[in-house]
């Protein structure tokens, strides 16, 4: 397709996004290979969150852009019909659009739902005619258009487009009713459909197996990547965006490994939270040192790293001294104008005794001005800055943020952006751009196999999608 045709098709479909109101269940899973990575895009939620359906300015700009450069009156009449009744476009983009990548990314495609084959055929042929190209062709009852390697095909239920399948392969996907080997019979795909979020992704880890090379040896021998998948889902609300992730283990080996790994981290008690300044960065985790050593030793990670004999005994002594919370806080950072000042840093690690601090001192590490470390009240600690260790922070963190969790991380984006600007000029622009709109980011677990990344926006009264919709409108 020529660029003009791409633009016109794109704008017409945007008009359907904004104006359409109908919806029906999607049944397009048979077009997607069962081992593919899949992205699901729910246009309905995007339009509702972006408040585009009732945006008169958006509709006006769409109308203007659709008619810009149009030569044929027939095309103008069709545009008017779509603006008055977007269902006449024949494609139901209120249903999820699925984009997939399979066979080491050598096969890609996108699948959407057709509501009226006749109406969609009229849309395609109108655009073809506008660009002086022959209308859609037909093979075995399937309508299609070609542009080099790109094939767009449709019947009365489904629209499919790809640049990595031949015409015969595309037609076969429409004609084949056998769903074996497709996402239509995948439990993972069913979980993807049930997940919340307007943008969701299913990532079978078997896809990356060929890219790991020797790194695959880091996994225990009984674990196969093909037996593990990850589901990602993006949701938004006023003032925040949330990316959830969930690991799906499909073998007993993976389930046991995940359970054993989870035992290395107990539930956070939060005893050190009151000492952490709500500054640039905070990390809190609970560590079962004895269990951690057992897992590392069982899987021979320590020996594989070349640690044996007395060194291995030392590692065991250090890890087995750890029995609880580890907390790290980096306070407000004054970057000045040209250099990065030493930040306020505090760290606490619950240990059975002072052996770790004693070991550090025996190896020549000594407290200096502005820095202190040692063992006190059941914690091995380090403190850098004026306030010192075990000083309660003003306006610090509420204990609810770590309650029931095994891991929690917090970043103040504006402060991190300042650091990025001093440390790396290349990172400064992106970091500053992010800090214009994002206030904080939090990462934490929600179960043994799932977690969330939560981004809080500076504008707490607006859904982030509204912001992106406004940016999109400025592009017209």
pLDDT at residue 213, as a whole number: 63
What is residue 179's three-state secondary structure? coil
User: In the numeric block, which tokens belong to residue 21?
Assistant: 């109101």
Tokens of 318: 């250090």
Q: Give residue for tokens 């800055």.
A: 385
- Tell me 380's DSSP state: E
What is the token pair recorded at 32? Answer: 């997607």
Model confidence pTM above 0.85: no
Residue holding tokens 């956070």? 268
How far apart CA 212 and CA 232 sit, in angstroms, is: 21
Q: Residue 192's closest CA among 140, 156, 230? A: 230
Half-sphere exposure of 234 (CA within 13 A, CB side): 17
Report the chain's terminal Cα–Cα distance, integer Å: 21
Whether 189 contacts 38, CB under 8 Å: yes
Confirm if 120 and 114 have CB atoms less than 8 A apart: yes
**Burial zone of 140 (CB within 10 Å; 0-12 exposed, 13-18 middle, 19+ buried):** exposed
Classify 360 as helix, strand or coil.
helix
> One digit per residue, pLDDT tens: the chain, 476 residues?
344 444 555 455 555 555 444 444 457 899 999 999 999 998 878 878 877 666 677 667 776 777 777 788 888 888 888 777 777 888 886 788 999 999 888 899 999 999 899 999 998 898 888 888 889 999 999 999 998 899 999 999 999 999 999 999 999 999 988 889 999 999 999 999 999 899 999 999 988 876 766 666 677 878 889 999 999 999 999 999 999 999 999 999 999 999 988 889 999 999 999 999 888 899 999 999 999 999 888 888 888 889 889 999 999 999 999 999 999 999 867 655 444 456 789 999 999 999 999 988 888 777 776 788 999 999 999 998 888 899 998 888 999 999 899 999 999 988 877 766 555 555 566 667 777 889 999 999 999 999 999 999 999 999 998 887 777 666 65
């Amino acid at each position: 397709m020529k660029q003009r045709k791409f633009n016109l098709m794109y704008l017409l479909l945007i008009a359907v996004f904004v104006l359409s109101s109908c919806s029906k269940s999607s049944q397009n899973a048979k077009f997607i290979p069962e081992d593919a990575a899949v992205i699901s895009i729910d246009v309905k939620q995007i339009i509702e969150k972006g408040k585009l359906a009732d945006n008169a300015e958006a509709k006006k700009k769409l109308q203007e852009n659709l008619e810009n450069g149009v030569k044929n009156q027939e095309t103008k009449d069709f545009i008017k019909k779509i603006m008055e009744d977007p269902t006449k476009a024949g494609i139901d983009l209120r249903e999820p659009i699925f984009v997939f990548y399979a066979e080491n990314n050598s096969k890609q495609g996108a699948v959407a739902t057709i509501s009226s084959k006749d109406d969609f055929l009229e849309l395609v042929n109108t655009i073809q005619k506008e660009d002086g190209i022959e209308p859609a062709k037909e093979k075995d009852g399937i309508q299609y258009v070609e542009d080099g390697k790109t094939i767009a095909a449709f019947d009365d239920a489904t629209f499919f487009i790809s640049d990595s399948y031949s015409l015969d392969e595309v037609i076969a996907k429409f004609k084949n009713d056998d769903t074996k080997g497709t996402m239509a019979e995948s439990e993972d795909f069913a979980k993807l459909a049930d997940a919340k979020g307007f943008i969701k992704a299913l990532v079978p880890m078997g896809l990356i197996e060929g890219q790991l090379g020797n790194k695959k040896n880091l996994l225990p021998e009984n674990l196969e990547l093909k037996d593990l998948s990850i589901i990602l889902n993006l949701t938004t609300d006023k003032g925040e965006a949330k990316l959830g992730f969930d690991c799906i283990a499909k073998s007993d080996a993976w389930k046991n490994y995940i359970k054993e790994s989870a035992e290395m981290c107990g539930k956070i008690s939060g005893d050190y939270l009151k000492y952490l300044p709500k500054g640039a960065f905070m990390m809190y985790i609970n560590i079962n040192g004895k269990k951690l050593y057992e897992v590392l030793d069982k899987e021979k990670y320590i020996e594989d790293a070349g640690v044996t004999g007395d060194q291995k005994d030392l590692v065991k002594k250090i890890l087995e001294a750890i029995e609880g919370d580890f907390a790290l806080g980096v306070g407000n950072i004054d970057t000045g104008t040209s250099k990065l000042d030493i930040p306020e840093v505090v760290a606490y690690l619950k240990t059975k005794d002072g052996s770790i601090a004693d070991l550090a001192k025996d190896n020549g590490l000594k407290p200096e001005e502005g820095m202190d470390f040692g063992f006190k009240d059941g914690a091995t600690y380090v403190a850098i800055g004026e306030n010192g260790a075990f000083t309660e922070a003003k306006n610090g963190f509420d204990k609810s943020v770590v309650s029931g969790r095994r891991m929690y991380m917090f970043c103040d984006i504006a402060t991190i952006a300042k650091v990025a600007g001093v440390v790396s000029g290349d990172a400064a622009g992106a970091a500053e751009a992010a800090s214009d709109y994002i206030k904080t980011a939090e990462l934490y677990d929600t179960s043994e196999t799932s977690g969330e990344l939560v981004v809080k926006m500076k504008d707490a009264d607006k859904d982030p999608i509204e912001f992106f919709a406004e940016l999109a409108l400025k592009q017209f």
